[in-house]
Chains A and B, each alone.
Chain A
Amino acid sequence: MKFAVVAIALMITGCTPLPDSYPVPEQRPMSHGPDPEGLQAFLVFDNPRTPAYLISDFLDAPPGQSWRWTNSKPTLRLNTAATENIRFRARGAFPHQSHQSLMPVTLSVLLNGKLLGRTTYKAAGDFVFQKDVEPELLQTNGENEVRLELDKVFVATDGVKLGMILAELGFEKRK
């Protein structure tokens, strides 16, 4: 019994009451300022940093808009650290109003200048292009250039070339 009392007393010496209030903690340096991150592997077009990803052939859009019109060869950069078990996926649309009479349209996707895949869409509407990516097509230590090429585009009355609408695209892990 004496032993138990000593043991319990030893434990109680470690007892500390909780405070009833706390001081202001160290302030973290977060703000709405420039983004310290690099480019990501997947781009959703409502990302405020979208312009940083785009290289050419995208039409302007207001910040935060969740989709973009492209011209015939939209090109952008994406960054991925992984090369194994990767799939490329793009989600977009050929609007009925503009593209109905234009179809079929062939979409080719090039990664770092090499052909990843090609698909012909026979009807207007939403589309998802996806294809597994061989590791040798990707660069891990730098940006990967992604180019989407269309064999034809709709030319609006004001002369603007409208290739397709893109909502999101990039690299994902394959399950």
Chain B
Amino acid sequence: MPAVFYILLGWLLTTSACVALGAILLKRLRVQFSRDESPTLWFVTGSALYSLLIFALGILHLYHRGVIVGAAIVVIFAATRMGALRLPTGQLPALPKTAKRLLTVCGVPFLALYLCNAMAPEASPDGSSYHLGLVAKYYREHALHPVTTNMYAALSQGMEMIFLGAYAVGRHSAAALMHFNFLIALPWLMVCYGRRIGQPAAGIAAALLVFASPVVGVDGISAYSDVAAACLIFTLFTVLNEIEQGPDNLGLVVLAGVLSGFAYAIKYTLFPALFLTAIYLAWVYRARVFRPLLIVAASSAVSILPWVVKNIVWWQNPLAPFFNHWFPNPYMQYWFEIGYRAQLAKYTLPSWKDWPLDVTVYGAQLTGILGPVFLLAPIALLSLRTSAGRRLLLAAFFFLATYPSNIGTRFLIPALPFVALAMTLTLASIRFAPAVIAILHVVLSLPVAIPRYSVHYAWRLDKWPWRQALRIKSEEEFLNSRLSTYAIARAMEQLVPSGRRVLGFSQVPEAYTATIYLVGFQSAEGNGLRDIFLTALIKERHPVMRLRLRVPAVKTRAIRVVQNRDDSRSQWSVGEMRVWNSNAQVKRAPLWRLRAKPTLHEVQKAFDNSFATRWLTDHGRYNGMYIEVDFGREESIDAVELLQANDQPWEGYHVEVRSADGAWTKPKTTIESEELPPYQGMRRAVVEELLRRNVQYILLQPDDYGLDDLQLNAKVWGVEEIADRGGSHLYRLLPKEEFEALPR
């Protein structure tokens, strides 16, 4: 079973490298935890450093198996030489025997379930599409490099760096197993926390609440980052509590900074970790807080800065793919961002009244369930009576603060350990209550129990694929049964020559294909290509409204059309802009320079003589938007023509011309409008435009708009279907000469 060997090797080697780095760091910082916690804390803190190491190797174009394995061996060797891996002697208070039994009986079956699912071929939606899709791409190309056609490549990818280390040896399953590590580390740290505060039963019950939670399980065995995020945050919480106990050890402050920074490197939404750390330090150090804050700023920057700088350099936006309004760039569209954020803040949830049952019981709208027992979460508030409860709820508050930005169930995971502990602390005063609640939760979370109350398509684990985990059954068969687009992804790999680009509108498991696949919504380029494609299908987008803006004849070096309306709900779009003089079009010349505000980088679409492309402002209308031609010499002009779609206002524009001194003047503008007959040949024009933009193939999935038309009118478009797998169709766009040779 060589595949299993490599999976296990990749997993164990990467895990060991993380543990070794963490042990070295803690030794250098002179920070020591209990014997029970140390290996877990070494792993979590070491992950931050390992991620950074892999980032650096990527920048240096050193993604080769030998280098990655070599680096891991050197790190493990160094830790051993330094004696960093020697376990401390101090121990936490022992666990009561009954509590231990509860942990074993309830935890072990889930551990086995999770292990075989994590080892099985990676088939999670996001893991197989972009988390590992990008990892595979970086590894294939031996470097971290800009992938500006995929917005997920702009997110901080601290976790992907850890995946990459394991992927280099054991491919997809080894990467998923790295996330599984955090899935087992998190409940163990919760158990240890319970022991620290003298509430071992509450700790064990809370750990089981989190560990058995269906969404935590399915997320934690996949190449995702939510459970790692939760584990990291909980580790930070442990460190902050330790600082409270021993404020003289500044090594702990450095550690808190490293963990806070790595939180940002794993997930943008964990940035409150920095604020939580700052508040804790302010509370502990009071007037002497300045130095610890500086230490945290410096140590967190080590993990944060690489991602910020990467985005500044490659995406021209430090916070890409968000905040494109503050940092305009050619790679992401602000208009898309508005819609995307709105969608993440709402999903398909009909009303907030449906939210509690959906995230705990049904899983119909928000993908995944926490488990029905979490309907009792409000009792966590009663823990405010205790100092531990107040600390836990403060942390929960910080990590719930970003939840409204994405209300998917899995975005509750970072706050879940704190809520679970606060719940069981509340119940701790009632004998057996924490154990009863934990057992009830475990029973309700069994794969056989979940379908009795949740919707059948809720995201969860439903099988024990141990044969697939051990590769006794074929990976291909498993992936085909789990991923509806796996077959078409493989077909792309076989049928599309290297270097050719495929345009699609929905994700495919890119982790399993080396084909260059552009997803329409994932970048400004993709959205632009999608806009061109849809122009063929939606008549209302055709620029059939001709506006002629007449001005008194004038000689000028530059001219602009200014839009005068304010309407944040709609964009201004221009199919073509032409300049006229004495009823003749002023010929476009190489001397011309084109400008626009906003969205300058798209301006050429209004001057390419194509009705399939259009310049879009990417912002709601505001008075003062303009599109401009600098002639590079004096030109006589008396009119400007705009070809726009019918959904654009027919008035609310004026012309400005640039005088000799460079000032813009506003001659009297008269607007004439006329509707032109519909354009012909739009489908073919779209195909030729896509070819011109280096797209040679198009992939349409069953729910993609336009599939029917492409199937019915393949000859009209000039496309050839080369694969049909499970309702997904791959078309080759015929070059002009092939299209013209088609029989009519």
Of residues 46 through 82 on chain A, the ones whose CB sits less than 8 Å from some CB of chain B are: 46-49, 63-64, 79-82
Cβ of B719 to closest chain A Cβ, rounded Å: 9
- Partner among B595, B685, B743 whose Cβ is within 8 Å of the Cβ of A20: B595
The one of A18, A23, A81 that contacts B593, using a Cβ cutoff of 8 Å: A23
Interfacial chain B residues near A86, Cβ < 8 Å = 712
Q: Taking the complex as formed, is B589 at the interface, i.e. its CB lies under 8 A from any CB of chain A?
A: yes
The stretch from A1-9, A93-101, A103-111, A118-126 touching chain B is A1-9
B669 at the binding interface (Cβ < 8 Å): no
Instruction: Report B128 CB to chain A, min CB distance, Å.
Output: 28
Known contacts: A3-B56, A18-B600, A27-B609. The answer to whether A49 contacts B590 by CB under 8 A is no
Do residues A18 and B316 form an inter-chain contact, with CB atoms below 8 A? yes
Q: Which of A7, A8, A27, A32 contacts B677 (CB 8 A)?
A: A32
Which residues of A lie under 8 Å from residue B716 when comparing CB positions?
Answer: 37-40, 79
Encode A1-36 as 1/0 by CB contact (under 8 A) with B: 001100110111011001011111111111010111
State how many angstroms separate the Cβ of B529 from the closest Cβ of chain A.
Answer: 15
Chain A residue nearest to B678 (CB atoms) is A48
Interface residues of A, count at CB 8 A: 46
Is B689 touching A28 in the complex (CB atoms < 8 A)? yes
* B713, CB-defined interface residue at 8 Å: yes
CA distance A21 to B594 in the complex (A): 5
B16 is an interface residue with CB less than 8 A from chain A: no
Which residue of chain B is the closest to A143 with respect to CB atoms? B744
**Which residues in A have their C-beta under 8 angstroms from that of B294?**
none
B650 in the interface, Cβ–Cβ < 8 Å? no
Chain B nearest Cβ from A171, distance in angstroms: 6
Q: How many A-B residue pairs have CB under 8 A?
A: 140
Q: Does A137 contact B (CB under 8 A)?
A: no
Chain A residues contacting B594 (CB-CB under 8 Å) are: 21-24
Closest to A27 in B: B609
Contact residues in A for B688 (Cβ distance below 8 Å)? 28
Q: Point out the residues of chain A lying under 8 angstroms from B744, CB to CB.
A: 38
State A67–B329 Cα separation when bound (angstroms): 48
Least CB separation from A1: chain B residue: B302
| B711 interface contact, C-beta 8 A | yes
Could you tell me if A11 and B593 are in contact, using CB atoms closer than 8 angstroms? Answer: no
Per the CB 8 Å criterion, the residue count for chain B at the interface is 59
Chain A residues with Cβ below 8 Å from B676 are 32
Tell me which residues across on chain A come within 8 A of B611, comparing CB atoms. Answer: 30
- A22 in contact with B684 (CB, 8 Å): no
Task: Write out the residue numbers on chain A whose beta carbons fall within 8 Å of the beta carbon of B306.
Answer: 4, 7-8
Q: How far is the CB of B579 from chain A (nearest CB, A)?
A: 11
A34–B590 Cα distance when bound, in Å, is: 29
Cα distance, A74 to B714, chains bound together (Å): 26
Asked if B715 is at the interface of the complex by the 8 Å CB criterion, the answer is yes
B310 — which chain A residues lie within 8 A by C-beta? 11
Evaluate contact between B680 and A81: CB separation under 8 angstroms. no
In the bound complex, how far is the Cα of B680 from the Cα of A64, in angstroms?
13
A172 at the interface (CB under 8 A from B): yes
Residue A42 is within 8 A (CB to CB) of chain B in the complex: yes
Instruction: Specify which chain A residues have a CB less than 8 angstroms from the CB of B593 in the assembled complex.
Output: 21-23
Decide if B588 is an interface residue (CB 8 Å cutoff): yes
State how many angstroms separate the Cβ of B371 from the closest Cβ of chain A: 37
Bound Cα distance from A47 to B713, whole angstroms: 15
Contact B712 A173, beta carbon cutoff 8 Å: yes
Q: List residues of chain B with CB within 8 A of the CB of A46.
A: 678
Assembled-state Cα–Cα distance A163/B306 (Å):
74
Contact B603 A38, beta carbon cutoff 8 Å? no
Closest to B716 in A: A37
Q: How far is the CA of A8 from the CA of B309 in the complex (A)?
A: 7
Partner of B608, one of A12, A25, A37, A64: A25
Contacts A23-B593, A24-B590, A24-B594: A172 and B683 contacting too (C-beta < 8 A)? no
Task: Evaluate contact between A48 and B313: CB separation under 8 angstroms.
Answer: no
Contacts of A167 in B (CB 8 A): none
- A173: chain B residues at CB < 8 Å are 707-708, 711-712
Whole-angstrom CA separation of A47 from B56 in the bound complex: 59
Would you give the shortest CB distance from A90 to chain B, in whole angstroms?
16
CB distance from B258 to the nearest CB of A (A): 13
The smallest beta-carbon distance between B338 and chain A, in angstroms, is: 22
Partner of A28, one of B609, B679, B707, B742: B609
- Bound Cα distance A89, B688 (Å): 31
Bound-complex Cα distance A24 to B329 (A)? 21
Q: Contact mask A153-175 → B, CB, 8 Å, 1/0?
A: 00000000000000000011100
Cα A62 to Cα B448 in complex, Å, equals 67
Could you tell me if A30 and B600 are in contact, using CB atoms closer than 8 angstroms? no
Residues on the A chain within 8 Å of B607, using CB? 24-25
Other than the given A4-B305, A22-B594, A27-B608, 11 more pairs (CB < 8 A) read A7-B55, A8-B306, A18-B600, A20-B595, A22-B595, A23-B604, A28-B689, A30-B679, A37-B716, A40-B716, A173-B712
Contact surface of A with B, Cβ cutoff 8 Å = 3-4, 7-8, 10-12, 14-15, 18, 20-30, 32, 34-42, 46-49, 63-64, 79-82, 86, 141, 171-173
29 contacts between A and B (CB under 8 A): A4-B56, A7-B55, A11-B59, A11-B309, A11-B313, A12-B309, A15-B312, A18-B601, A21-B593, A22-B604, A23-B590, A23-B592, A27-B608, A27-B609, A28-B688, A28-B689, A34-B680, A36-B739, A37-B683, A37-B716, A38-B744, A40-B716, A46-B678, A48-B680, A49-B680, A79-B715, A81-B721, A82-B714, A173-B707
Shortest beta-carbon contacts, A-B, top 3: A35-B680, A81-B714, A41-B712
